[in-house]
Structure 1
Amino acid sequence: MVSDLLAILRVRETSRQVFTGESLVDGVRRIYGGQLLAQSIMAMGQTVRESHRLHSMQGYFVHPGDVTKRIRFDVQPVRDGRSFSTRRVTVTQEERVVFIGAASFQAAEGDHARLSPMPDVPPPERMPAEADFFAREAHLLEHRRSHVSTIMRLFERRSEMWRPWLDPGAMAPVNGLWCRLREPCGDDPLLCHAVLAYACDLDLMTTAMRPRGHGTMDGRTRSASLDHAMWFHAPARPDAWFYYDMSGPSATNNRGLGMGALYQDGRRIGTAMQEGLMRVIDDEIPRDPAAQTMNQPQ
């Protein structure tokens, strides 16, 4: 399974600065947002000089992607300087835009480094494993298609803050978990950051929405990621344990903002932010085409 993920992240250049890619097929028709983030990083990163390393990216999810269709990544150079390179990417399927993004890359410079220490939390071996916590609800994955099952197969995750998939009740908008890829992914810096972005898409919006009391498998909800931004402060190894500390500072107009800090080896290696949409279908919602494209929670 991990080898399949690494294969689809290595998008292929078919013409100058144009790349194509495929999707993991896991029973969910919609492309997982983290996949589009990771593949966009890989496409943009292949067009900059090797000495320039990714330090930030951001993007908007425009339309739901279809896992059965080929994905096209059109990369546009914005800047190529001695210190920085900037890229834009437009991601389409059959000329329908599904994602737009940008990334900045920088050559190493300076010798000052300050990375905040990670929170004082128990080590992963002292936290409940995801599969163990959800063992009594595992049957839900057979009846409700979800990207959760794919993440569980790809990553080992442990947390003291798991909540039931059904009827968890209102909880504070905080979350934290240990995570690592189940198999080695090598030491390519661009690929490592792409895998990190892949892993970080799943839990931000749901953390922000915890006070509403709906679980991940709640059939009354329709959710989607709207945008995502990440900053990469230091090298990362997603196949080694890293801690993902999350909070949700705001929720309004059915949108929730999630903030995440990533730590490895006791220091902060990255920051992520995402705004997502969660509608409860019992509520009155706008009758417009966009309202009909929302899929099941991720």
Structure 2
Amino acid sequence: MPHSPVPAMQQLLTILDLEALEQDLFRGTSPQVGWQRVFGGQVIGQALVAAQRTVAADRPVHSLHAYFMRPGDPAAPIIYEVDRIRDGLSFATRSVVAIQHGKAIFSLSASFQKEEEGMEYQAAIPQAPAPEDLPDREQMREAFLAGAPDHVRSYWERERPIEVRPLSLDHYLSDRKLAAEQKVWVRTTAPVPDDRIIQAAILAYLSDMTLLDTALFAHGRSVFDRTLQVASLDHAMWFHRPCKLDDWLLYSMDSPNTNGARGFTRGSLYQRDGTLIASVAQEGLIRDRSKA
């Protein structure tokens, strides 16, 4: 009998469970879903798991800063080499290099802190309709995908570990120049283990979804435009509060700048109850090949 396909969320949990090769040396793999390169959020998540496994359990991650150097090869394993930069009384710092075919494809620096009390403040959650009031996957397929190009349709129809419900699909359906901001609701498609390492890694994974798209809105272009070369260059993330990922999250994004074939974007991730759990910043390559 043919094997049933592994659910996408189970695939994600499996690839985040890195194989330990030696002290501070780990190996990760990629799901075989027909992509030409490894999804950036996957590499961020795996590198974060590698770093966290070398840090005391009472020091969760509070920030990471990463650079993408080369596209990852989905068919080859990725080796993660961790450098224990510092272990202080409250903070720990780690550096991780991801290697494929003998070359670095990605680097990450992350900082970890013992939890402690401090002054509390956060920005309020933006106004947005509830995710239940937005089109679900089937409704989006009926309303949007019927006339969409094959490569757009295959992206949205593919089973993914994260469900995305955009507040608007205007930027996919029109070439009008729009405000460089968007909001989407996101959630995992299956339960997440009660493990803060895995929860932080999945949050990092999903933070790379839809973010760079926002930089294209002001130009009336879409990430699906095949005349554009679009790729993440760097990624920074700050983890403000823990999150069990057991409900929808509102991802609010904006892009204040594009120039020099780069687009800069910012994002905030909120729980449904308004709790701000993480902030994100990213710059990506946006190269218009039609003008080359």
Provide TM-score, normalisation by structure 1. Answer: 0.89
For structure 1, the 5+ residue unaligned runs are: 285-298
Partner of 2:241: 234
Distance change >3 Å, CA 172–CA 248, structure 1 → 2: same
Q: Per-residue deviation at 1:134?
A: 4.4
User: Taking every aligned residue pair, what percent have the same amino acid on both sides?
Assistant: 35
Partner of 2:23: 16
> Aligned to 2:183, what secondary structure does the other structure show?
strand
CA distance in 2 between partners of 1:43 and 1:13 (Å): 9
Q: Could you list the per-position Cα deviations for residues 44-84 of structure 1 after superposition, in whole angstroms to 9, with x for gaps in the alignment?
A: 00000011110000100000000000100000011101200
Please give the root-mean-square deviation of Cα atoms over the aligned residues, in Å. 2.0
Contact 2:171 2:217 in 1 (8 A): no
Mapped pair 1:267 → 2:288: no
Paired amino acid for 1:229: A
> Aligned to 1:153, what secondary structure does the other structure show?
coil
CA distance in 2 between partners of 1:46 and 1:138 (Å): 45
Paired amino acid for 1:110: E
Q: Per-residue deviation at 1:158?
A: 1.8
Aligned length: 283
Distance change >3 Å, CA 144–CA 261, structure 1 → 2: closer
For structure 2, the 5+ residue unaligned runs are: 1-7
Partner of 1:205: 212
Contact 2:238 2:279 in 1 (8 A): yes
Q: Per-residue deviation at 1:142?
A: 4.7
Mapped pair 1:276 → 2:284: yes
Distance change >3 Å, CA 137–CA 60, structure 1 → 2: same
Q: 1:216 aligns with which of 210, 219, 223?
A: 223
- Write out the 4+ residue segments of structure 1 that deviate beyond 4 Å after TM superposition: 138-150
Mean Cα displacement is larger for which, 208-217 or 69-78? 208-217
Mapped pair 1:153 → 2:160: yes
Q: Could you list the per-position Cα deviations for residues 149-183 of structure 1 after superposition, in whole angstroms to 9, with x for gaps in the alignment?
A: 55x52222223222354654321100001110010
Distance change >3 Å, CA 207–CA 146, structure 1 → 2: farther
Q: 2:262 aligns with which of 255, 266, 272?
A: 255
Provide TM-score, normalisation by structure 2. Answer: 0.91
Partner of 2:188: 181
Contact 1:73 1:89 in 2 (8 A): yes
Contact 2:186 2:250 in 1 (8 A): yes
Partner of 2:4: none
CA distance in 1 between partners of 2:19 and 2:147 (Å): 37
Partner of 2:232: 225
